[in-house]
Amino acid sequence: MTKTIDYFFGIGSPWAFIGLEPFTALAARFGAEIRPYVIPLVEENGAIFSRNRPEPRRAYWFKDLKRWAALRGKTLELDNRAGLSDPTPAGLTVIAAALEGKDWVRLTAALQEAFWSRAEDIGNAEVRKAIADAAGFDGAALEARAQQSDVQERWRSDYELAKTAGVFGFPTFRYDGELYWGQDSLPFLERHLNGEKLIA
C-alpha cells in the first residue's frame, strides 16, 4: 500500500525552503505520496512569527537558520528584504498548480529559491509569472487559476484542517497520524516510514 505524507508548509518559510529537497528525496526513497497543504502559520496553535519573538530568541533563530542552510547547501539572502511584499499569493499559485495536476514541488522550489536565495519579490504577480515561466510553467495561466474560488476555498479549508490536526509551524509532516515539526525532524519521519516509530 502506498505511504502518504501530509506536508504542511508556507512559501515564506525559510525552514520549509531548506528542508524541501531532503524531504522530497526521503519521500521518493520510500515511494511515498506527498499531499500538500499550503497554509499560513497557525497562531491559534502556538505559532509565533519571528518578528514577534524576543530579540535573544530572534538572534539565535537567525544564526541557527544560517547553520542549517549551510548544512543543506542552501544560500540565504537575509539582508535588505524590507521591501518584499507578502508571499501568500505565491502559496495560492502553488495550490493552483497542485489542483491542475502540475508539478507543484518544482514550482514551490522555484518560488522559494527566488524568495530566499535572491530576495525576489514573489508577492508581485509579474515576478511570480516570470519565475513560473522560467521553471517551465505557464505563469499567466497559473496566476489566473489562483484567482478562482476553489483555490481560495482550498487555502481556507487546508488551514482549518491543519488547525484541527494540531499543526502550528513549518514545515510539518504528518504520517500515519503522527506529526513531525521542523525540517530537523526528518530523521524521525524516516524511521517511522521504515516501521520504527519511536514512541506510541
**pLDDT at site 38:** 96
Mean pLDDT of the residues in the chain: 93
Q: What is the pLDDT of residues 53-84, one digit of tens each?
A: 788 888 888 899 999 999 999 999 988 786 78
- The strand order across the sheet containing 178-181 reads 33-38, 4-9, 172-175, 178-181
Model confidence at 27, pLDDT cuts 50, 70, 90, reads: very high
The DSSP secondary structure of 131-156, one letter per residue, reads HHHHTTS-HHHHHHHHTSHHHHHHHH
How is residue 87 annotated by DSSP? S
- Alpha-carbon distances, residue 32 vs 52, 72, 85, 101, 109 (angstroms): 36, 22, 34, 17, 19
Apex 81 CA angle, 88 and 181, nearest 5: 50
C-beta separation of 145 from 139 below 8 A: no
Nearest residue to 152 via CA among 111, 97, 92, 108: 92
Distance CA(49)–CA(186), nearest Å, equals 22
Q: What's this model's pTM, rounded to 2 decimal places?
A: 0.93
Nearest residue to 115 via CA among 9, 12, 8, 10: 12
- Which range has the worst mean pLDDT, 110-114, 136-140, 188-192, 193-197? 193-197
Distance CA(77)–CA(115), nearest Å, equals 8
Distance CA(172)–CA(179), nearest Å, equals 7
Model confidence at 46, pLDDT cuts 50, 70, 90, reads: confident
Distance CA(167)–CA(10), nearest Å, equals 12
Is a pLDDT exceeding 70 seen at residue 200? Answer: no
Secondary structure (3-state) at 193: helix
